[in-house]
Structure formats: structure tokens, C-alpha cells
Amino acid sequence: MESRPNKIPTHQDMENNVVDRSQEVTLHEILDRVLNKGVVLAGDLVISVADIDLVYVGVRVLLSSVETLERIQSDKQKENEHMHGPNAGINR
């Protein structure tokens, strides 16, 4: 597992108090930022999550966290149901 080098070098007592250097926290923070934050530019993208069929996301070029993808799929499913009835969900 990788860690971010040189994050807040400071006095040991301060580190013990407020700076958490544990890999778990840092990894979570990195992934939260990389997957959920950042500039989103317009474009086209096809994505796939695990064994779920390819889902066309449309004009957004983004690949995000599972939660975000699930929300997108849920929204699309609702939209689909609204348009075509409750049995017309996204292929899974």
C-alpha cells in the first residue's frame, strides 16, 4: 500500500495530537478526493462496474465512486421506469 510522503511534517507531539498519518485514513482521504472530486469536463464515456453491463453515462466524462455510479444508475432506472413502466430497468 502506498502512502503520501511528506504530509505535514511537524513536531512529534503535535503529530500525536492532530495529524493522523495512518495509512488507512490517508488512503481513504486520497480515494475520496481522486474518485469524487476534481474537474469534470464534458465528453463521452462508457463505463462498467463489476459484472454490471456497460452503462452509457452520456455527456459526462467521469468515473466515480461506487456510490456515485449507483446513484447514476438508480436515477437512470427511475427515468426509464417513468418513461417505459416499472419493468424497463437497466440491464444488470
Partner 1 sequence: MVPMQALIVDMQYLVYAILPFPVQFAPLAELLAANHGIGHSKLETVSSAELIAITGKVNHQKVISSTENALAYARVIDELFRLYTLLPVRYGTVANSREAVVSLLKKHTHQLHQNLDEVKNREEFSLKMLWKHEGSYQYFRGQPGAAKKEVPIPFPADSPQKTYLLQKIRKHRQENALVDYAEQLANKLEHWLVSFHPTFRFKIMVSQRLILDATMLIKKGYQQDVVQAISCFQDRYPDLHFLLTGPWPPYNFVKLPNDGTGQKSP
Q: Which is nearer to partner 1, 45 or 88 (CB)?
A: 45
- Within 10 A of 69 (CB to CB), how many other CB atoms are there? 20
Residue from 12, 50, 53, 91 that binds partner 1 (CB under 8 A)?
Answer: 50
Q: Which is nearer to partner 1, 30 or 77 (CB)?
A: 30
Only one of the segments 17-25, 72-80, 84-92 lies at the binding site for partner 1 (rule: CB under 8 A); that segment is 17-25
Tell me the residue type at 41: L
Nearest to 77 by CA among 58, 92, 59: 92
21/36 Cα distance (integer angstroms):
21
Residue from 12, 19, 73, 78 that binds partner 1 (CB under 8 A)?
Answer: 19
